[in-house]
Structure 1
Amino acid sequence: MNKKTQENIDGWIMVAPIVILMLVFVIGPAIYSFMLSFQDYNMLKPEQSEWVLFENYKELFADPAFYQALYNTVKYSIVVVPVQTAIALVLATVANQKIRGKTFFRVAYYIPAVTSAVASAAMFMFLFNTNGIANRFLGIFGFEAVSWFNEPKYALPLAMIMAIWSTVGTQMLVFLAGLQDIPNEVYEAASIDGASSVRRFLSVTVPLLREKTMFVIIVGMIGTLQMFDQAFIISGGTGGPLGSTTTVVLYLYNKAFGENRLGYGSAVAVGLFIIIFALTVMQKSIFEEREERPAKRRKVNG
């Protein structure tokens, strides 16, 4: 056995565990879920399951509850992703400055990201309870107590605030790594040219973090479209009040396990996968097109 063959074998041995785990826990279940989406599958009586082909999909696209869940999810994603991206970039910029105690700020910004979603939801429910701190503070100024999580107009925005608070630390680390890769000479050259700190941020930092921004936005979009835990905890699994916190994944969960319709739930999962995949490809193509425009302009001008 020559050296190259031995290296190939060693490489496959090293990656074999993660490949096996991916096949068993990711790829295999995804394929099986796709097959279940064409069946009327009863988890308690699997022997009575039967193939219904596209009936689950027909029911899915005719269900108003699914469109409400999709609307809530898209609304949640449209608000959370841009806000958390902007805040993460600002926090990363602050944490990258040469200030005293910057390590403390980095840790403080990141602590919510490693906090359990259940603990975060419990804390927010305590703060915004009818007798919570938020209502007591507003009561000082004469406002009446609000049942925040029982009001449709407040429940989803509070879930958005909770998500931004608990996830912005992870995006901050990505931006912080990108900022530390930017050479100081670039900023020094911009300063010599008379650029202010704001101009350096907009003309140097933001363009050079384009790839990191694309990564953060795509990962954030995928995460928000799959939002489940906050909605489940806030509403007790019902998606209330009046369906205002029902997301696609919570809708999937209630159909698959609440009503014991795994086939229909699998159809919802396939539909969500198609939506996420299409949006990811679209965002990637938009970012790549923006990157190609300056190169084309330089080529034409040159």
Structure 2
Amino acid sequence: MTRKTSKKALREAGQGYFFMSPAIFVLTLFIIGPILYAVFLAFHKVELLGGTALNFVAWENFTRILDDQRAIIALKNTAKYVLIVVPVQTFLALVLAATLNAGLKGEKFFRIVYFLPTLTSSAVLTLIFMWMYNKNGLINHALDFLGLPTYNFLGDPDIALNAIMIMNIWATAPFFMVIYLAALQDIPDSLYEAADLDGANAIQKFFYVTVPFLRPVTSFVVIMGLIGTFQLFDQSYIFSGGSGGPDNSTLTVVLLIYQYAFKTLGTMGYAAALAFALAIIILVATLLQRKLSKEESLY
């Protein structure tokens, strides 16, 4: 490379970075900066009253997580939520998309109806379900009318988290359904024609043609589902009034982080450590899912 070419390349690179500088500044100020500051706080004890005081405690905030019973409960609740919601919402989204792609009557109408929950505000949706789950709510009235036992959905520790799961599956599956529906349009008709010639029925075509072809999309849907479910906060907060009750049954990791950061004095650094640990868990879960999906694609 000549000196003239080198100067031209540097000038072009400088122009590129100059035009990108507003975006780089915004990303640094509002994303990268806060992340680095949160990591910094995770290694300190933070006192916010009377002026911010920082005391370096090294790994103390992280070792404290292992002895914190509420943190362990929150992690168990979050893990249960993730392990149930992600597979169910993924499968439901795929089934709904395949059904709507089959050319049924009123297909456009049902697409709109199925997608409506995604357009509803999360807070409003939670309040509607709380009304439905109430002792005198719609669901208990329906159960009583059918002669079935009624439940205290909001006050029973064995049911409360399951009630949130049902609501979230109902609300998030339509969003992933749209992604699957777009992907289904790209499947060549020749694959289904070949399956017809081989004598495959509708179920066999679904599992041996549709599902394998949609594997990359499924990987994306699962990753997005993992990230979203690990970050469950607003529904749990509204359901329990911010306490994570009844009996910590709806306490999630993000809700616990909020409680330690803004409800308890002197634990902002510990909350940052919890947030950093959650980010690592999400990263590991995402990498494992990607590795498994790549291994599956070899077959």
Q: Give 1:248's aligned amino acid.
A: V
Aligned pair in 2 of structure 1 residues 10, 168: CA closer, same or farther (>3 Å)? Answer: farther
Does 2:275 correspond to 1:269? Answer: yes
Query: Is the counterpart of residue 288 in structure 1 residue 294 in structure 2?
Result: yes
Amino acid at match of 2:68: D
Question: TM-score normalised to the size of structure 1?
Answer: 0.91
Q: Does structure 2 conserve the Cα–Cα contact (< 8 Å) formed by 1:131 and 1:145? A: no
Counterpart secondary structure, 1:204:
helix
What amino acid maps onto 2:272 in structure 1?
A: S
Q: What is the distance in 2 between the residues matched to 1:137 and 1:288? A: 46
Q: TM-score, structure 2 length as denominator?
A: 0.92
Find 1:176's aligned residue among 163, 173, 181. Answer: 181
- The letter of the residue matching 1:250 is L
**CA displacement at 1:280 relative to structure 2:** 0.8
- Show the 5 A alignment for 1:18-97: 18-97=23-102
Structure 1 residues 174 and 14, CA gap change in structure 2 (3 angstroms): farther
User: Which of 236, 239, 251 is the matching residue for 2:256?
Assistant: 251
1:128 is matched with 133
In 2, the alpha carbon distance for the partners of 1:212 and 1:135 equals 38
Cα deviation per residue 1:42-92 (whole Å; 9 max; x = unaligned)? Answer: 233444221111111121121111010000000001010000000000111
Pairwise CA distance, 1:184: 1.1
| Aligned residue type for 2:94 | L
Cα distance in structure 2, aligned partners of 1:234 and 1:262: 24
Which residue number in structure 1 is paired with residue 162 of structure 2? 157
Could you tell me which residue of structure 1 aligns to residue 122 of structure 2?
A: 117
For 1:133-157, what per-residue CA distance to the aligned partner results, in whole angstroms no more than 9, with x for missing partners? 1111122244454321010011000
Q: Distance in 2 between matches of 1:281 and 1:156?
A: 27
Q: What is the alpha-carbon distance in structure 1 between the residues aligned to residue 76 and residue 15 of structure 2?
A: 49
- Counterpart CA distance in 1 for 2:21 and 2:45 is 35
| 2:108 pairs with 1:108 | no
* Greater shift in the superposed pair: 32-41 or 137-146: 137-146
Q: Higher mean Cα deviation, 6-15 or 117-126? A: 6-15
Between the aligned partners of 2:137 and 2:151, the Cα distance in structure 1 is 10
SS at match of 2:159: helix
Separation of aligned partners in 2, 1:85 and 1:161: 13
Q: For each residue in 1:155-189, what CA deviation from the matched residue of structure 2 results, as whole angstroms up to 9, or x when unmatched?
A: 00000001101111111111111111111111112
Check conservation: 1:83, 1:164, Cα contact below 8 A: yes
- Return the alpha-carbon distance in structure 2 between the equivalents of residues 210 and 43 of structure 1: 48
- Unpaired segments ≥5 residues, structure 1: 295-302
Q: Is residue 104 of structure 2 the alignment partner of residue 99 of structure 1?
A: yes
Structure 2: stretches of 5+ with no match in the other structure: none
For 1:283, the aligned partner's letter is: Q
In the alignment, what sits opposite 2:284? 278
Give, as a single letter, the amino acid of the residue that structure 2 aligns with 1:246.
L
Shift of 1:15: 4.8
Distance 1:194 1:284, change over 3 A: same
- Which residue identity does 2:290 align to in structure 1? K
* Residues 174, 69 of structure 1: alpha-carbon distance in 2 compared, 3 angstrom cutoff: same
CA RMSD of superposed structures (Å): 2.1
CA shift in 2, pair 1:9/1:262, >3 Å: same
Q: Is the 8 A contact 1:155 1:244 kept in 2?
A: yes
